[in-house]
Amino acid sequence: MSLLEIRGLTTEFKTEQGIVKAIRGIDYTVDKGEVLGIVGESGSGKSVGMLSLMGLLASNGRVTDGTITFDGEDLTPSNLDTKKKKKQYEEKMRKIRGNDISMIFQDPMSYLNPIVTIEKQMTEGILYHTKCSKKEARQKAIELMKKVGIPAPESRLKQYPFEFSGGMRQRIIIAIALACNPKLIIADEPTTALDVTVQAQILDLLKDITKDTDAGVIIITHDLGVVASLCDRISIMYGGNIMEEGTSDEIFYEPKHPYTKGLLASIANSSADKREELKPIPGTPPDLLKLENECPFAARCSEAMEICTKYNPLVTEFSPTHRCKCWLHCRDRYKEVVKGDEADE
């Protein structure tokens, strides 16, 4: 059984303009020791899925459908119709957050409390989730800081976040995430705010950590370069749908979806022998407010067909790990979606 299993997760946000369906029935599985990369542009829903899992959606957000199973336990946040159920769910999540599942965020400064010492912030979780003395917690914090490569941890524990550089702060966030030996680590754009040379340091650290632990790791990013070196499997999101999912090799060398192909063609690669012309994807990302049941990529897709503007495609499996959601690959099954009378017309 997988460590994490998400089925048909759908999340909506209520806004002034109407209901925004931020994710529209997505499936994920993560096994122990596996690194899953979720790649998507802004508005693709790549972060919303994980926030739904953690029960950290903004107050106007709501999971309307789908199931979440984590380590054999049902964590589905939909159908919380009574206050009691809601309270039970909150209670359950509080125990899981920071303990079984921990998160690493993009901007370490907004996650760390600026007026509390690093020691307090690091031991807080340890003390909350495990039964140990302050001294043991402190010892554990020092070990963790050594592990993430912070020099002189004993003296640095007494310092405040502003006394650390951006890269060091991100290391602390990683240390905090590791504190309770989590079963699942979710890293949301862990290197986006960092400079190239520091990014390389953090990516290296993440790589070591994913190798050492048997925890499942999910890395959310917009940068294909980050996932290429780090992830076992990659999931490409667009407009609230998973467009394609596969091993890194499958995604990079045998992409099936026009969007994945388009993404790969639109990035420059200086390691290539000669400078190739970039092939951008035309147009702009869809407005989720106006998106109905069509394929979200239809308006920008070079292969778009009539059906793409009317029906969301079915999932096609190319290998046990490789799935893709595109009408190009599931034409034979279109009658499953198109109603009989409409098909005959």
Partner 1 sequence: MTEEALFRKLEAEEKNDEFIAVESQTFLQAAWKNFKSNKRALVGGIVLIVIVLLAIFGPMVAPYSYDEQNMALRNASPSADHWFGTDKMGRDIFVRILYGARISLLVGLVAAVVNLIIGTLYGGIAGYAGGKVDMVMMRIVDIIYSIPSMLYIVLIMLMFGASVGSIVLGISISCWIDMARIVRQEVKSLKEQEFTMAAFVLGASSKRILVKHLLLNAMGQIIVTVTLMVPQAIFTEAWLSFLGVGISAPQASWGTLAQDARSLIQVYPMQTVYPMLAICITIFAFNFVGEGLEKALDPKRKR
Partner 2 sequence: MNNEAKTNVKPLLEVKNLTKYFPAKGGKEVHAVDGVSFTIEKGETLGIVGESGCGKSSMGRTILKVHEPTGGRIIFDGEDITDFNHRKMMPYRKRMQMIFQDPYASLNPRFTVGDIIEEPMIIHKMGTPKERKAIVQDLIETVGLKPDHIRRYPFEFSGGQRQRIGIARTLALKPEFIVCDEPISALDVSIQAQVINLLEKLQRERGFSYLFIAHDLEMVYHISHKIGVMYLGNMVEFGTSDDVYKRPLHPYTRALISAAPVADPKQAKEKKRIILQGEVPSPLDPPPGCPFSGRCPYATEKCKIKKPDTYEYDGRKVACYIYAPENVKQYSDAGKTPEEAVFLK
* Binding-residue total with partner 1 (CB under 8 A): 28
111 binds, among partner 1, partner 2, none (CB under 5 to 8 A by kind): none
Compute the distance between CA of residue 75 and CA of residue 305 in angstroms, rounded to an integer: 38
113 binds, among partner 2, partner 1, none (CB under 5 to 8 A by kind): none
199 sits near partner 2 (criterion: CB under 8 A): yes
- CB contact set of 111 (below 8 Å; sequence gap of 6+): 105, 173
Compute the distance between CA of residue 247 and CA of residue 230 in angstroms, rounded to an integer: 11
Nearer to partner 2, 115 or 268 (CB): 268
- Answer whether 63's CB lies under 8 Å from 78's CB: yes
Compute the distance between CA of residue 345 and CA of residue 343 in angstroms, rounded to an integer: 6
319 sits near partner 2 (criterion: CB under 8 A): no
Alpha helices in 213-257 (DSSP H): 224-230, 248-253
Which of the residues 24 through 63 are near partner 2 (CB under 8 A)? 41-42
41 sits near partner 1 (criterion: CB under 8 A): no
8 sits near partner 2 (criterion: CB under 8 A): no
Binder of partner 2 out of 271, 290, 306, 336 (CB under 8 A): 271
Cβ of residue 268: shortest distance to partner 1, in angstroms? 22
- The per-residue DSSP string of 75-93 comes to ---S---SHHHHHHHHHHH
Question: What is the Cβ-side half-sphere exposure of residue 169, based on CA atoms within 13 angstroms?
Answer: 22
CA proximity to 254, closest of 277, 230, 279, 234:
234
Binder of partner 2 out of 208, 249, 254, 317 (CB under 8 A): 249
289 binds, among partner 2, partner 1, none (CB under 5 to 8 A by kind): partner 1
289 sits near partner 1 (criterion: CB under 8 A): yes
Nearer to partner 2, 8 or 280 (CB): 280
Kind of pairing, strands 35-39 and 101-104? Answer: unpaired
Nearer to partner 1, 14 or 158 (CB): 14
Binder of partner 1 out of 306, 320, 336, 340 (CB under 8 A): 306
Phi and psi for 147 in degrees, rounded to 5? -60, -40
How does DSSP classify residue 314?
P
Positions touching partner 2 (CB under 8 A) are 41-42, 165-168, 195-201, 203-204, 222-226, 228-229, 248-249, 252, 262-271, 275, 277-282, 284-285
